[in-house]
Structure formats: structure tokens, C-alpha cells
Amino acid sequence: MPLAGRPNWQPLTQILTQPGQYWQGRVWLWKAHLRQTWLTASWQVGQEAPLVVISDEGAGRHSLCRYRKRMRVEATFQDKKSRAFGLHLTHVRQREHLERLLLRLSLAIWWLARLGAACMHHGKRRLFDRGARPDKSVLRLGRQWFLDILQRGPSAASLARCLPFQRQGTHWRLCLRS
Amino acid sequence: MQASIYTVWPQFARLVKQVLPSVHGQRGKTLAWVVMGIMLVKSVSSAQSAEVLRRVQGTQASSQERTVSRFLANEAIDAQALWPRFFPARLANWARQPELTFVVETTFVGNWAILVSFGLLHHWRGWPPGWRVMPREQQWQEGQSALIAPFIQAVSPSAGQAQCRLLADRTGSP
């Protein structure tokens, strides 16, 4: 329901009816849970359906850009599932067991992320990835770097620097660069 | 490599114990061990982890698989209670950022569960600060905002002065 003019409830499907259209403005949404918010709707040519984004930070193309950041998370999920950790193949069938499996997996992901970031920071990426067109994810780099460190077998102090968290004063910190 | 693993494992176990002082020492060691198992084999598969850990420890794969299974079945390990204790350590670097963007993502696990993940966007990825496992074929008792609320509450003290933004889809409950 656009705010301007008389209340005029209409389904979102009627705001944009064909590709190439765009609309933005302040609206009331949901009769049952009435909420005033900003709405941006865009139906790009070639897309099957419009993209509708609501936000409390205003409407406009910047709103769509911010939403598109959400797609970034897909890469991590692909790592969790088919690309790396095979979560979709797990035989675990109990919720509590899956929770503990995710605790393990999440710790492993943060640790590998820290190692992958350290690998790039130290300029070692080329050892494990194609130089001209690097395509390994930070997690894959982290694992290669981890295996390499274990193979080289440095001192205990050096190995301690590979741990996911480093103590700084009284706090622990996920350090992405040491 | 075996010697290095035996050096890193107790170091990591000590770190786990320091972050999670309430966790029994042996459970902390097992957690450290099974996390390293995932890192070594790049898989959550118990069988694959067991095979690699067997080679490292010189025991039978079945013994390692039982270790993993016992860990997963251990009711004394409350993953949802333990995981937030790592928040301050994980978010310390990001607290100085002017903006933090969090993302809610739902994904299917088999045909019985939906994983609702709460991720922090950084370097083109969503890093997992938290998750909830929800049933796939039953109506959820909680709405998406109720599921997200505890994550926001847990992250808030570690987020410093950063302006936080949350991106979510209107999807999830079947």
C-alpha cells in the first residue's frame, strides 16, 4: 500500500507486471502485522521474476546493491556442502548430533579461514593456486597451507602461531594475518 | 606430519580449554581432535575422518569412528551454548569496522532438516557466527525474526561501535 494518496492495498505482484519495470517508495506492508517500510522493486529484463527488497534504510538502487551482497554467502555454503565438506552427504539424522557436527565444522571453517588469509597475507598463494588466474577459495588455500605447515614440521612455537585464536592481553582474537 | 599433528593437537586443545573453561578436559581434547579431522580430510564424513586419524594415531579406523560418533552423541556437549563463547575472539577484528553486515541463509540438510545460518559478510563470504537446525517437514513454532534474535543478542556485545546491517530472505519455514 503506497503511503501517498488514499490507502490502496494491493499485492506486490501488481506493482511490477513485466520485465524492465522499477518502483521504489515508502509503503505499509502486511495487513496482519502492519509495518511501515521502504520498498524497492526491480524486474530486470531476462529475469523470471522481480526482485523486491524492503529495508528500514530507505529505498533505491543502493538498497538492491546492498541486498546483492547476500549472494556472497553462497560461496561458503557451497564449501559446506558439495564443494568441500560434504554436509549434504552426512548420515547424521538427529538434530542434536547435527548441532555438534556443526560446532566442529564451524570451528574448522574459522580456523581454515584464518590460515587461508594468512597464506595470502604472506604471499604464498601462488604455491597452491594458479598464478595467472587464481581460483581456490580461502578455505581450500587454508587447508593446503595447513597441510604444508604440518609437512614441514616447524617448531612448536611456529605451529602455535597457526592456531585459530591468538591471545592478546586478556582476550582471544581471531587473527587473520599472523 | 604425524609429529606436527601431535604438536598442534594439544596446543589447540589447550586453547579450546581456555576459551571454554567449563568443558571437561577430555571433551575439549576430543573436540580439538575431531575438528582437526575435518580439516585434514576436508569432509564432515566420520568414515573419512576416521581413516585419516587412524593413520595419524596408529589405531583402527573403527576406533576413530567411534570417537567421532561418541562426540556427536554426547549430550553433555551443548553446541548452542558453547559456540557463542567464541564470539568475542572471532569478532574482535571486526568490531573496529564502521559497518558489519550479517546474513541469514537457509539450506537443506538431507530431507529432514533446514539449516538456518547466521553469517558475517567479509571478503566476499559469509562466515558463520551461528546456526539453528529446524525441521524440514513440520511447521516451525518460531518465526524467522525469533530465530534471529538470539544471534543478534549474542553478537551485540562484540560488535563494538560498528553499524550492523542484517540481510535476510522471506523464506524458511515450510
pLDDT at A4: 57
Q: Does B97 touch chain A (CB under 8 A)?
A: no
User: Which chain B residues are within 8 Å of A105, Cβ to Cβ?
Assistant: 38, 44
Name the residue of chain A whose CA is nearest to B120's CA.
A73
pLDDT at A108: 93
Of B79, B126, B165, Cβ closest to residue A72: B126
pLDDT at A41: 94
pLDDT at A38: 94
pLDDT tens digits along B160-170? 788 888 888 87
Of B3, B19, B80, Cβ closest to residue A165: B19
Q: Does B81 touch chain A (CB under 8 A)?
A: no
Angle separating helix axes A138-152 and B2-19, nearest 10 degrees: 120
Neighbour tally for A98: CB within 10 Å:
24
pLDDT at B171: 55
Of A72, A111, A163, Cβ closest to residue B39: A111
User: Which chain A residues are within 8 Å of B124, Cβ to Cβ?
Assistant: 72, 75
Q: Which residue has the higher pLDDT, A97 or B152?
A: A97
pLDDT at A178: 45
Q: What is the mean pLDDT of residues B144-156?
A: 84
Do B91 and B159 contact (CB within 8 A), yes or no? yes
Q: Does B115 touch chain A (CB under 8 A)?
A: yes
A35-42 β-sheet, strand order: A22-29, A35-42, A51-55
Would you call B39 and A151 a contact, using CB atoms and an 8 Å cutoff? no
Q: Does B109 touch chain A (CB under 8 A)?
A: yes
Would you call B109 and A90 a contact, using CB atoms and an 8 Å cutoff? yes
pLDDT at B86: 80
A68, A101, A114, A173: which to substitute to probe chain B, counting the most B Cβ within 10 Å?
Answer: A101
pLDDT at A177: 55
Q: Does B163 touch chain A (CB under 8 A)?
A: no
pLDDT at B110: 82
C-alpha span between A150 and B11 (Å, rounded) = 14
SS3 content of chain A, % helix, strand, coil (to 5): 45, 15, 40
pLDDT at B174: 40
Q: Dig out the grid coordinates for B167 from the structure.
A: 540481510
pLDDT tens digits along B85-131? 887 666 766 777 888 888 888 888 888 898 888 888 876 677 777 88
Q: Which residues pair with B120 in a beta bridge?
A: B102, B127
Which pLDDT tens digits describe chain A residue by residue (178 residues)? 555 555 678 888 888 999 999 999 999 988 777 888 999 999 999 999 899 999 999 999 999 988 887 766 666 666 665 556 888 778 888 999 999 999 999 999 889 988 998 898 888 888 888 877 777 888 889 999 999 999 998 888 888 888 888 777 777 777 655 4
Would you call A163 and B11 a contact, using CB atoms and an 8 Å cutoff? yes
Q: How would you class A105 by CB atoms within 10 Å of its CB: exposed for 0-12, middle for 13-18, buried for 19 or more?
A: buried
The contacts of residue A164 (CB under 8 Å, 6+ apart) are A107, A110, A111, A114, A174, B12, B15
Would you call B45 and A172 a contact, using CB atoms and an 8 Å cutoff? no
pLDDT at A40: 95
Q: By percentage, how much of chain B surpasses pLDDT 90?
A: 22
pLDDT tens digits along B2-14? 789 989 999 999 9
Mean confidence (pLDDT) of chain B: 85
Would you call B8 and A163 a contact, using CB atoms and an 8 Å cutoff? yes
